[in-house]
Structure formats: structure tokens, C-alpha cells
Structure 1
């Protein structure tokens, strides 16, 4: 188990220190239907920190998104709604479009960010087998419809059909998943370490799908959400149902560069 956890932490470090890290984001720009100019000029709603005054334009029409570059080339872009989005690159800058409930926004990334401020790593609690918890995976009948807020103050409806039920030191608690897929179950939670030893807005946790009505929650793999590293993320916040009434001294601690 210790080797597996160390491998997981090394993969996290590689992800956060690489050119596509959340730490490399330098802008988030919400688009309007129609033409949106991209460049370093004052008239560009998608404002680049460097480069030409006009790099091109993003044309959002009837749910389609076209990139028209200054050189006359044109291509349709895919957002992150169905997976990995299309990217547009210019020197060290790269941008892509995210879809948030049919609202489009450009995320701008500086892929050379680490040359100026290398990632020094994350502090973590020591591994503790006591925080590998097998919970009951119980259906909710009827399913619960929650409005989950994000860091931008928006609400997203989430349908919850199951809950993970377990006990810690005699306290019976439950966690509601934000999503349940074929490969993983995703949770967002807070606990008594939030805002102190861990990130104030809570942490994320992924688990393998339940088997025979049981699901394993390994809190040693609780990790910081993207919004712990950048103001240009739109992370979901833990619903009140997922505010645990005790400390969970496991997983990633608050990032030292936390803003």
C-alpha cells in the first residue's frame, strides 16, 4: 500500500509541475455569442499578456465555436464538455475553451510558467491505514437533486442516487457523490482541518466503483482541487451534506503557495 500511495503522490507532483499544470493558468475569459477578438490589444476581450495585438477571433454561433486566425486559417474547436478540448498555441501561450452549462470561457495557459517559479511540491499527512474506510453504498430512493455551488458563486444541479455511509469514532456520517461513472466515483468534502491544515474550500476524493454494496474511501488520497492553485478554475464546493464533523488528518495538506 505504501508503494502504491507513493506512486500516486509522484504522479500528482508530475501533473502539477508540468507545462499543463493548473499553476500555469494566467487567465479566464468568458465569451459572448458572436465574435470574440483574441490578442494583446486593448480591444480584445480575450486578452493575451504578450504577442500580437490581434491573434485571431473566436466565433461562437449556434453552439459551434470557430477559431479564425489572423493568417486566414480557420478550424472548429471542441470544448471540454466531451473530454479533452482543442487547443490553440502561440509561442509559450496556449488556450482552450471550457463549457460550463452552455457558457463558454477561454482558459489561457503559460506553458513556460515553471521556468520562473518551479513547483516545490505538496505537503501531505503521513499515510494512515485507519483512513482507508469501507463504506456502505446505499441507494437514495427517490434520488436527491442538489444544487452544488462553485467558487464563482454559480449553482449546478446534481442528481444523487447513492450515498456512502460509514462511521468514524462512533459517529455515523455519509458522503454524497458529485458524479458516479463506470471507472470512478467522485466526492467533494470538507472536514475540521479545512481552512487550517488543509485547503479552506475542501478537498476532492476519487474512489473505485462500489462492489456488492460497498465502496472503499481512501482518504490518504484526498487531494486539493484546482482552485487551491489558481483563481482561474471553477471548482465545485462541498455541499453541506458533505461537511464532516471531525478532522480527517489524511491526504494532501494546504498548498504553501495558497492565495
Structure 2
């Protein structure tokens, strides 16, 4: 085994351990107890969530009494406060109820409140992430070809609702001499985001996974490293709204690499 491969294996082990720690963290994906769309609660009362949450002016008007036990920016909340979508770390969310964090979410013009609780049953039950050890054969050279303009396709989401998924181009690569293509979104930092399934999906691995290749080189060259395939957040909590793979992003070949399934005690 070459020195480069030894280093790659060690880097993968460190990455895998860090992933487990991130998932199991107090406000990681396992702590999500609910995603409550405000359109479902016109009176502003969300079951099991204290306070009154109403849509107003593109944001949320939260009203609380001392009995609700809510805090805003670390101080007890009594009265009203206007909130916008919270895009920061969950543990830094403005609204708290003891150890819980209540986060405003915005998707396609709709607002929701997410409830994160470190004491969630899913977090208590979690043991580890089943993953295939590093395999250099799944680091594939690829080429990214951007679209002339971003495309939006409608895809199903884990909560049963169809939403738009923005796509910026296609990655082509070969597996055992056969060409394959995956559509990808382009993130603000230039990196890519792929939602894909393969011949193991729904069997020996979760029904779909994410892949996040680094920004392509100027000539489009990109490394397609399936050793870094990720389970989506909805593999850890039912209340995430992960998009399913867009048409064409289900590979006909098995990809027995990286994260496969969540394992509970």
C-alpha cells in the first residue's frame, strides 16, 4: 500500500469519526422532533410547542407569556417578537425552551417552525453510522459540464411534498468502463451537491444519498469520490424534507461505498 493510499485511508477514518460525532451532537439531525408548517396552524398554536406563532410580513410574529417558558437571545420572552428565517447554527438559534431550540424555516415562500431537542428518542437510540471502509477504486475522475442557465426540476421530498430542485450542470464519469452521468447543484462556494441513488439503494444502503464534490478545475475536471457519500438528514429524523434524486440520478450500478445506513442500539 502506497503512502498516499495510507494517508487517504486515515483521512477517511477521521472524516467518518467526525461525521458520527456531528450526527450525534446535541443539536445534530437526530435531535429534530418536528417541522411544523404554519399554514397548518392558522390560530398560531402548534401542539407541544409553546407560544403563538403567526405568519406576518414575510416573517413570523411570536407571542409568549411567562408561562410559556420561552427565551429570546438568552433572555426570558414576554410579549411579541418578530422573527425571520434562522440560517445560523441550531445551538445559536434565537428562540429556546430550556434545552430545546425552536428555529424558523422558510421553503418556497412557506414558513415552518422546527423543534430540536437533545433528549429526542432518536438521539438516545443512535449507535453509529454503518459505512464501508475506504476503497481507492471508488475515487473516480470526472468532468463537470455546467448548464448555460440553472435548471429547476420538481422532485418529491421525504415529507411527501413535491418541490423545486435547482441544478447547475452534469458530472460524467466511468464505472468499469461504462459512462454514467449525475446532475448536480452548484453551491455558492463552487462546490457541487448531488442527490443520487444506485443499485444498492433501499437494500443494503439507504434509499438515496448525497455527494458533495469539491469545486471543479477550470477545465471541468472533478474528483467523484463515492467514499464520501453521505446519508441525508432524513435518514436520522423523519421530520427533514430531503429531496429525492432527480430523474436520471439513479445509477444502474451498485455503489457499495461509504455511508450505508443508520444503526441504533
Partner residue in 2 for 1:48:
48
Q: Which moved more, 1:107-116 or 1:21-30?
A: 107-116
Q: Distance in 2 between matches of 1:248 and 1:175?
A: 13
Which blocks of at least 5 consecutive residues in structure 1 are unaligned? 38-43, 50-54
Say whether residues 1:248 and 2:255 are aligned partners: yes
Distance 1:25 1:226, change over 3 A: same
1:1-259 alignment runs, 5 A limit: 1-32=8-39, 36-37=43-44, 44=45, 46-48=46-48, 55-71=50-66, 72-80=78-86, 83-84=88-89, 86-113=93-120, 117-141=124-148, 144-200=151-207, 202-212=208-218, 213-257=220-264
Q: Distance in 2 between matches of 1:142 and 1:109?
A: 37
Q: Distance in 1 between matches of 2:246 and 2:239?
A: 21
Residue 94 of structure 1 and its aligned partner are, at CA, apart by 2.1
Residue 64 of structure 1 and its aligned partner are, at CA, apart by 2.1
Distance 1:19 1:192, change over 3 A: same
Query: For 1:49-78, what per-residue CA distance to the aligned partner results, in whole angstroms no more than 9, with x for missing partners?
Result: 7xxxxx321231120212222133432223
Which blocks of at least 5 consecutive residues in structure 2 are unaligned? 1-7, 67-77
SS in 2 for 1:122: strand
Aligned residues: 244
Contact 1:166 1:172 in 2 (8 A): yes
Residue 239 of structure 1 and its aligned partner are, at CA, apart by 1.2
Contact 2:100 2:116 in 1 (8 A): yes
SS in 1 for 2:34: strand
SS in 2 for 1:236: coil
Contact 1:33 1:60 in 2 (8 A): no
Q: Distance in 2 between matches of 1:139 and 1:28?
A: 34
Structure with the bigger RCO (C-alpha within 8 Å, sep 6+) is 2
Q: Distance in 2 between matches of 1:127 and 1:247?
A: 16
Q: Distance in 2 between matches of 1:254 and 1:149?
A: 21
RMSD over aligned CA atoms reads 2.5
Distance 1:36 1:242, change over 3 A: same
SS in 1 for 2:10: helix
Distance 1:167 1:230, change over 3 A: same
Distance 1:207 1:116, change over 3 A: closer
Q: Distance in 1 between matches of 2:235 and 2:41?
A: 33
